[in-house]
């Protein structure tokens, strides 16, 4: 059975709590991503900042110089790199989030998006060559 480690993206874009939102918005646009894990110096997960968080900030007319800490989501669902991929699949079906951080020994090791799982299933089905 595949695990999170088999599917996760290891090349990560991350920010720290002190990062200003103007920089976060630029990262989201430049990297064409929908969310960014928030970590400390030891790569421990502190939260996540998403497109939805940015929209709320803009709706509230907060300054783009506001820091991530005051905007980020702190109640983050995450998984360990050894967790079964079906657990993550089920979490995506049962919840509205688009990505989940993957941890190794309590530190951020990767991220899996809905698109990553769909791509993995498609490639494993043997249909990617047709």
Tens digits of per-residue pLDDT, 56-83?
998 888 777 889 999 999 999 999 999 9
Query: CATH topology for 4-125?
Result: CBS-domain (3.10.580)
pLDDT per position as a tens digit, 88-115: 999 999 998 899 999 999 999 999 999 9
What is the SS3 assignment for 73?
strand
What is the SS3 assignment for 65?
coil
pLDDT at position 13, please? 96
pLDDT at position 63, please? 77
At residue 124 the predicted structure's pLDDT band, cuts being 50, 70 and 90, is confident
- Distance between CA atoms of 130 and 41, rounded to whole angstroms? 45
| Position with higher pLDDT, 119 vs 62 | 119
Task: Look at the pTM and tell me if it is higher than 0.95.
Answer: no
Share of the chain above pLDDT 90, in %: 83
pLDDT at position 47, please? 97
Whether pLDDT at 49 is above 90:
yes
pLDDT per position as a tens digit, 10-31: 999 999 999 999 999 999 999 9
- Distance between CA atoms of 127 and 122, rounded to whole angstroms? 6
Give the largest Cα separation in the chain, rounded. 49
User: Are the C-beta atoms of 9 and 88 separated by less than 8 Å?
Assistant: no
| Position with higher pLDDT, 9 vs 129 | 9
User: Are the C-beta atoms of 121 and 88 separated by less than 8 Å?
Assistant: no
Closest listed residue to residue 45, CA positions, set 86, 22, 76, 2: 76
Domain ranges of the chain: 4-125
């Amino acid at each position: 059975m595949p695990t999170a480690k088999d599917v996760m993206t290891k090349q990560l874009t991350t920010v720290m709590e002190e990062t200003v939102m103007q920089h976060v918005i630029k990262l989201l646009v430049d990297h064409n991503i929908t969310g960014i894990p928030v970590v400390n110096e030891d790569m421990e997960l502190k939260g996540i900042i998403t497109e939805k968080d940015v929209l709320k900030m803009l709706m509230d007319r907060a300054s783009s110089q506001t820091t991530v800490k005051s905007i980020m989501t702190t109640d983050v669902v995450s998984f360990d790199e050894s967790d079964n991929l079906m657990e993550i699949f089920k979490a995506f079906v049962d919840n509205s989030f688009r990505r989940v951080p993957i941890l190794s020994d309590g530190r951020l090791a990767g991220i899996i998006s809905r698109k990553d799982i769909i791509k993995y299933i498609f490639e494993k089905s043997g249909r990617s060559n047709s």
